[in-house]
Chain A
Amino acid sequence: DQQVKQNSPSLSVQEGRISILNCDYTNSMFDYFLWYKKYPAEGPTFLISISSIKDKNEDGRFTVFLNKSAKHLSLHIVPSQPGDSAVYFCAATPGSARQLTFGSGTQLTVLP
C-alpha cells in the first residue's frame, strides 16, 4: 500500500524549459512534504519542503505546490538545467513522529 506515489518513473525536458514533477499521497495525516534529489552513487539531498498550512513555497528556481483537497503536490523547476538531471523523490511526514514516507522517485533528464 503505497501512501506516496510518483506515477512517472521518468521525465525528459529540454534545457531552459520548465520541469514539472508530480506526487500524490493517500494519507490525510501527512502535514509536511519534502522533495529530495539524488545523483548516482550519492545519498538523497534535501531540496525544498512545504507545510500543509501553505499551498506554495519557492526557493530560487524551485517551487513546490500543494493541493490538499486533491492530495497532490508538484515540483516546478524553471529554467531546467542539465545539472538538474537526477532522481527526484517526494516524501511526506505525519504529525510528531516525523517519519518520512517516500515515493518511488522520478528520473529527470534535462537535455542540452
Chain B
Amino acid sequence: KAGVTQTPRYLIKTRGQQVTLSCSPISGHRSVSWYQQTPGQGLQFLFEYFSETQRNKGNFPGRFSGRQFSNSRSEMNVSTLELGDSALYLCASRRLAGEDTQYFGPGTRLTVL
C-alpha cells in the first residue's frame, strides 16, 4: 500500500507570496492532519480534515488555511508569507478521525526569503 505523498518536496518563495502544498493520504484513509516543524519547536498541529470538513484547528493565524477534497486529498495554503513560515510542513493520515496512530508523509520543505 502506498504511503502518504506530499508535493512539492521543496519550495522557495519570497515574503508576501502565497503557497499551496498538497497531500495525498494512504488509500482508504479519510483523515488528514497538517503539522509545522521548526527547529526547537517540534511538530505543531495546524488543522485536521475529515470527510472534507475541518475537524480541529491549531493555534495558527488565519493566513494558514486548508481544504480536503472528496477523494481525501488535502491542500494547505499559506498567504502573505513571512520569513518565520520557513519550516517543514508535514501531512499525516489515518483511516478515521478517532484513531490514535497517524502515518506521516515526507514533508514539504518551505523556505521563505
- Measured CB to CB, the residues of A under 8 A from B are 4, 6, 9, 32, 34, 36, 41-46, 49, 89, 91, 93, 96-105
A-B contact count (CB 8 A): 55
Residues B43-74 near A (CB distance < 8 A):
43-45, 48, 56
Smallest beta-carbon distance B77→chain A, Å: 20
Please tell me if B105 contacts chain A, counting CB pairs below 8 Å: yes
A32 and B48 CA atoms in complex are apart in Å by: 18
Residue of B with least CB distance to A91 = B43
Cβ of B102: which chain A residues have Cβ within 8 Å of it?
A: 46, 100
Q: Verify A104–B42 contact, CB threshold 8 A.
A: yes
Given that A43-B105, A46-B102 are known contacts, is A98 also in contact with B42, CB under 8 Å in the complex?
no
Scoring B4, B45, B98, B102 by chain A CB atoms within 10 A of each residue's CB, the highest score goes to B102
A69 and B56 CA atoms in complex are apart in Å by: 29
Q: Verify B105–A96 contact, CB threshold 8 A.
A: no
Given that A42-B106, A43-B90 are known contacts, is A34 also in contact with B101, CB under 8 Å in the complex?
yes
Q: Verify A43–B107 contact, CB threshold 8 A.
A: yes
Given that A49-B100, A49-B101 are known contacts, is A41 also in contact with B106, CB under 8 Å in the complex?
yes
Contact of A45 among B48, B98, B104 (CB under 8 A): B104
Smallest beta-carbon distance A2→chain B, Å: 8
Cβ of A98: which chain B residues have Cβ within 8 Å of it?
A: 97-100
Residue of A with least CB distance to B35 = A102
Enumerate 6 A-B pairs (CB-CB under 8 Å) in ascending A order. A43-B4, A43-B90, A44-B104, A99-B56, A100-B45, A104-B42
Given that A43-B90, A44-B90, A99-B48 are known contacts, is A104 also in contact with B41, CB under 8 Å in the complex?
yes
Contact of B42 among A42, A45, A102 (CB under 8 A): A102
Contact of A102 among B40, B44, B101, B107 (CB under 8 A): B44
A105 and B35 CA atoms in complex are apart in Å by: 14
